[in-house]
């Protein structure tokens, strides 16, 4: 929202800025790395890619390197923002140069990927989404913001709200799963948590919604790949999550790397101007993804860097993340009349507006080294990370083995069970090695005796095996797509070896994505999907395994039975003319089922729930539905009651189910609750073939229950008001 006072101050500055200074504001610099070498990050990556150095060598060089922040450029007004300055002292030093030594004294804005916690790594977003808990999502965002701002960060490149239906895509780890509503609610909660309602607070962190748009639909699950889909599908399934996060007040938006039906998002005027600005009224800042403007040359849409800068600016891009195209070419483009002064001024305005809103002009030094030290990894932060981890891990199988009885002798297997640093997961840039707590640490803290299972030694004499399998953190996230979602051969061999011993097995899966867990289901008596749970992994896992905490997480993406099911595994698939059946000529595979191994919304607990007495009726605002849920077991628990609907006869084929709402309810043993949902009329609208938003009269099916597969149904004869 524009404030007249701020707009006046922006105009005053604009009137005094040279063309070069305007171009400088549009430039986000990543600095370059110096040490034993003098290279840009991009050059280093090229060396890894062409095999001149190994990835390990590159990591070592990165950790030994010092940043060169190109301070002469900063002094000359050629840098408006930095990517990845970490530490209050370093940020204050650079900010001092910007404020005291540049002609106009415009402060810097510093951006960093604070994705799931900062120093206190919380569960990866995919994991945290399984809590179905908007309050938790907001609280962990607040904690991340407190730590990150103390370390000199002003803006996070989060939330990512890319609906992710293909687990081969490594960045599914950063999403809230396969559903549009969940991604939208997740994004909204994160924006509120990061920003608060007062951006001038020292601990308020500007949120940048990404990756606009539909990056999660990259073809084949291959990162950076093309996205091509019908406009109806785009509007109905992919766009709503960005809209929700933007309308929650996010002050920045990052277009995606991919092209959308042939036009890269970085130069996509329909996205950056028509939808974002005109339709949604966004008046924050757009910032490209790293080097993405220059990469329009690789896409084959721009002839050269100048052409890429021209197209991006004219499409509505404001800031250039690290490609340097804007810095190098804005002046000549404006002088040649290829970019209007108005468009340039608008881009500068959008950037300066955010700097004013954050209070950086009046208060440029927002933290100190003392504040930074005091903010990190406090006991309260660890406690919240533990709570988040408890609420994120999904119990998939339990043949009565859990909760573990006291005094059992445990055989601890799988290298991940002993690993602290793999627990933080992808994109944990603020995490420090050693901060994490492994399963082994959890057992030690509980005083539970265990023996380590070694590959080359006979199995220990124990009562139960606790076995960790799955992915390491580098195996998901950016540039970590997989062609197979199977557990590794060594994980499967380990599980089989333990099963053959005849002793019961608890398997804990660490992963940044859904994996094919068939072999784990066969070999283990109990199976916990722990994802990458953050710094408090071990203690939280023990809380669940010994029954101190009753598992309550539910899957936000189905888990595949076979990789070849991807990407058609998602629950809101449309209907086909030949639904899968026993008959040969139906829509199915010869060698794998069409349904997931574990469905969307699924998760066990140590109690059981029974649903009854569903009712649904039309109201003036939409459909009101109710159901009774009863805790039929002997433990208190939290159940996620899920509300889906289906429009069985429509003008375009509609999804089998669509999540419309959910509520997490706490139930004591024997307790019943009546849970009510109001689905607004707007939820039933969809686009017809001509892109008109329409709603049908006729039956709407309401499906309520504890996961998408197991629901009760009530039909409503719906008349569109």
CB of 104 to ligand NOJ, least distance (A): 27
Please say whether the beta carbons of 573 and 655 come within 8 A. yes
The tokens describing 33, both together, are 């790395």
Sequence-ordered alpha helix ranges (H) in 65-157: 71-75, 88-101, 125-129, 134-150
Show the binding pattern over residues 175-214: x = contacts ligand NOJ (CB under 6 A), - = does not: -----------------------------------x----
Applying the rule CB under 6 A, the residues between 563 and 592 that interact with ligand NOJ are none
Q: Does 42 sit near ligand NOJ (CB under 6 A)?
A: no
Question: Which residues are known to be catalytic?
Answer: 289
Q: How far apart are CA 486 and CA 488, in angstroms?
A: 6
Cα(287)–Cα(710) distance, rounded to whole angstroms?
Answer: 43
CA distance 491 to 514: 16
Contact 532, 424 (CB under 8 A): yes
Binding mask 538-567 for ligand NOJ (x = CB under 6 A): ------------------------------
Nearer to ligand NOJ, 159 or 414 (CB): 159
Its sign, for the CA torsion 284, 287, 293, 298, is negative
CA 470/CA 465 separation, integer angstroms:
16
Kindly tell me which of 129 and 563 has the beta carbon lying closer to ligand NOJ. 129
Please name the helix (run of DSSP H) or strand (run of DSSP E) that holds residue 397, with its range, or none. strand 394-398
Q: Are 165 and 178 in contact (CB under 8 A)?
A: yes
Nearer Cβ to ligand NOJ (171/397): 171
What is the Cα gyration radius of the chain? 26
Nearer to ligand NOJ, 291 or 552 (CB): 291
Residue 256 CB, nearest approach to ligand NOJ (Å): 8
113 lies in the site for ligand NOJ, by CB under 6 A: yes
Residue closer to ligand NOJ, measured from CB, 102 or 323: 323
Question: Taking a C-beta distance cutoff of 8 angstroms, is the pair 403, 545 a contact?
Answer: yes
Give the integer Cα–Cα distance in Å for 696 and 686. Answer: 9
Give the integer Cα–Cα distance in Å for 415 and 452. Answer: 10
Of 210 and 437, nearer to ligand NOJ (C-beta) is 210
Query: How many Å apart are CA 139 and CA 89, to the nearest integer?
Result: 27
Copy the structure tokens of residue 316.
């509505």
Closest approach of ligand NOJ to the CB of residue 290, in Å: 4
478 binds ligand NOJ (CB under 6 A): yes
718 contacts ligand NOJ (rule: CB under 6 A): no
Measuring CA to CA, which residue among 412, 452, 661, 678 is closest to residue 545? 412
CB of 163 to ligand NOJ, least distance (A): 16
Maximum Cα–Cα distance across the chain: 80
Shortest distance (Å) from residue 291 CB to ligand NOJ: 8
Strands 686-687 and 693-694: antiparallel
Asked if 227 touches ligand NOJ (CB under 6 A), the answer is no
Residue 259 in contact with ligand NOJ, rule: CB under 6 A:
no
> % helix / strand / coil in the chain, to the nearest 5?
35, 20, 45
Given candidates 132, 157, 194, 450, which one binds ligand NOJ under the rule CB under 6 A?
157
Q: Render 627-675 in DSSP notation, one character per residue.
A: EEEEE-SSS-EEEEEEEEEE-SS-SS--BS-EEEEEEEEEE-TT-EEEE
**Cβ 353 to ligand NOJ shortest distance, Å:** 21
The secondary structure of 471-540, three-state, reads: CCHHHCCCCCCCCCCECCHHHHHHHHHHHHCCCCEEEEEECCCCCECHHHHHHCCEEEECCCCCCCHHHH
Is residue 118 part of the contact set for ligand NOJ (CB under 6 A)? Answer: no
**Could you tell me the smallest distance in angstroms from the CB atom of residue 465 to ligand NOJ?**
39
Nearer to ligand NOJ, 359 or 429 (CB): 429
x-marked contacts with ligand NOJ along 278-307 as a string, rule CB under 6 A: -----------xx-----------------
Least separation in angstroms between residue 130's CB and ligand NOJ is: 21
Rounded to a whole number of angstroms, the minimum distance from the CB of residue 86 to ligand NOJ is 12
Nearest distance in Å: CB 322, ligand NOJ: 8
Between strands 464-470 and 450-452, the pairing is: unpaired
Name the residue among 278, 260, 277, 249 with its Cα closest to residue 211. 260
Q: Report the alpha-carbon distance of residue 240 to residue 182 in Å, rounded.
A: 10
Sequence length of the chain is 721
For the record, the structure tokens of 11 come out as 């105009």
Q: Whose Cβ is closer to ligand NOJ: residue 83's or residue 339's?
A: 83
Nearest to 213 by CA among 291, 131, 270, 173: 270
- Say what the alpha-carbon torsion angle 694, 643, 560, 403 is, to the nearest 10 degrees: 170
Structure tokens at 523: 């070999």
Q: Work out how close the CB of 120 gets to ligand NOJ at its nearest, in angstroms, rounded to a whole number.
A: 20
- Prior bond to 213 cis, omega within 30? yes
User: Who's near 314: CB < 8 A, 6+ residues apart?
Assistant: 269, 339, 343
Helix (H) or strand (E) holding 321: strand 320-321
Q: Return the H-helix or E-strand segment holding 613.
A: strand 609-618
Closer of 142 and 210 to ligand NOJ (Cβ): 210
Least distance to ligand NOJ from the beta carbon of 707, Å? 31
Q: How many residues bind ligand NOJ (CB under 6 A)?
A: 6
CB of 157 to ligand NOJ, least distance (A): 3
Is 611 one of the binding residues for ligand NOJ (CB under 6 A)? Answer: no
Query: Which H/E stretch holds residue 415?
Result: none
Neighbours of 538 (CB within 10 A): 28
Query: Using CB under 6 A as the criterion, which residues of the chain lie in contact with ligand NOJ when the complex forms?
Result: 113, 157, 210, 289-290, 478
């Amino acid at each position: 929202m524009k404030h007249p006072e701020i707009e006046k101050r922006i105009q005053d500055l604009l009137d005094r800025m040279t063309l070069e200074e305007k171009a400088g504001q549009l430039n986000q610099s990543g600095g370059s790395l110096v040490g034993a070498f003098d290279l840009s990050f991009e050059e280093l990556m090229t060396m890894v890619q062409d095999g001149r150095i190994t990835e390990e060598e590159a990591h070592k060089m990165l950790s030994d390197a010092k940043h060169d922040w190109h301070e002469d450029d900063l002094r000359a007004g050629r840098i408006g923002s930095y990517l990845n300055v970490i530490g209050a002292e370093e940020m204050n030093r650079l900010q001092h140069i910007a404020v005291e030594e540049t002609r106009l004294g415009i402060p810097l804005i510093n951006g960093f990927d604070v994705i799931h916690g900062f120093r206190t790594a919380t569960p990866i977003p995919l994991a945290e989404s399984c809590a179905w808990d908007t309050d938790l999502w907001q609280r962990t965002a607040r904690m991340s913001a407190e730590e990150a701002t103390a370390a000199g960060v002003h803006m996070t490149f989060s939330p990512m709200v890319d609906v992710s239906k293909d687990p081969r895509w490594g960045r599914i780890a950063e999403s809230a799963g396969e559903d549009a509503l969940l991604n939208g609610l997740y994004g909204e909660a994160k924006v509120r948590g990061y920003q608060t309602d007062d951006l001038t607070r020292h601990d308020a962190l500007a949120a940048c919604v990404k990756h606009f748009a539909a990056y999660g639909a990259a073809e084949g699950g291959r990162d950076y790949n093309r996205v091509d889909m019908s406009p109806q599908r785009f509007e109905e399934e992919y766009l709503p999550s960005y809209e929700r996060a933007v309308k929650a007040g996010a002050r920045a938006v990052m277009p995606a790397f991919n092209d959308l039906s042939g036009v890269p998002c970085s130069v996509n005027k329909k996205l950056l101007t028509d939808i974002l600005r005109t339709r949604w009224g966004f008046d924050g800042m757009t910032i490209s993804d790293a080097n993405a403007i220059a990469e329009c040359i690789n896409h084959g849409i721009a002839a050269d860097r100048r052409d890429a800068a021209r197209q991006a600016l004219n499409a509505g891009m404001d800031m250039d993340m690290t490609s340097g195209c804007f810095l190098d070419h804005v002046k000549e483009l404006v002088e040649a009349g290829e970019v209007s002064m108005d468009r340039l001024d608008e881009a500068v305005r959008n950037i300066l507006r955010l700097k004013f809103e954050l209070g950086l002009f009046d208060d440029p030094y927002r933290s100190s080294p003392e504040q930074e030290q005091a903010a990190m990894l406090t006991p309260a932060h660890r406690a919240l990370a533990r709570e988040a981890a408890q609420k994120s891990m999904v119990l998939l199988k339990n043949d009565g083995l859990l909760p573990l009885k006291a005094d059992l002798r445990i055989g601890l297997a799988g290298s991940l069970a002993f690993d602290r640093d793999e627990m933080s997961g992808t994109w944990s840039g603020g995490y420090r090695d050693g901060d994490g707590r492994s399963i082994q640490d959890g057992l030690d803290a509980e005083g539970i005796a265990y023996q380590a299972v070694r590959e080359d030694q006979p199995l220990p004499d124990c009562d139960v095996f606790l076995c960790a399998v799955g992915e390491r953190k580098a195996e998901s996230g950016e540039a970590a797509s997989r062609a197979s979602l199977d557990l590794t051969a060594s994980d499967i061999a380990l599980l089989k070896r333990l099963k053959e011993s005849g002793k019961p097995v608890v398997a804990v899966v660490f992963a940044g994505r859904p994996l094919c867990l068939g072999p784990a289901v066969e070999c283990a008596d109990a199976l916990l999907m722990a994802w990458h749970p953050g710094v408090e992994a071990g203690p939280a896992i023990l809380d669940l395994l010994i029954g101190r905490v009753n598992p309550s997480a539910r899957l936000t993406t189905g888990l595949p039975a076979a990789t070849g099911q991807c990407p058609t595994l998602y629950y809101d698939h449309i209907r086909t003319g030949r639904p899968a059946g026993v008959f040969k000529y139906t829509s199915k595979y010869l060698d794998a089922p069409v349904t997931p191994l574990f469905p969307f919304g699924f998760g066990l607990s140590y109690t059981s729930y029974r649903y009854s007495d569903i009712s649904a009726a039309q109201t003036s605002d939409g459909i009101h539905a109710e159901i009774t849920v009863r805790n039929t077991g002997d433990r208190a628990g939290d159940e996620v009651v899920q509300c889906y609907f289906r429009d069985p006869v429509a003008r375009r084929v509609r999804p089998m189910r669509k999540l419309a709402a959910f509520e997490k309810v706490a139930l004591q043993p024997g307790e019943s609750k009546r849970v009510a949902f109001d689905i607004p009329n707007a939820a039933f609208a969809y686009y017809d073939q001509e892109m008109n938003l329409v709603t049908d009269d006729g039956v709407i099916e309401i499906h309520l229950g504890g996961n998408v597969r197991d629901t009760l149904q009530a039909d409503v004869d719906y008349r569109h008001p």
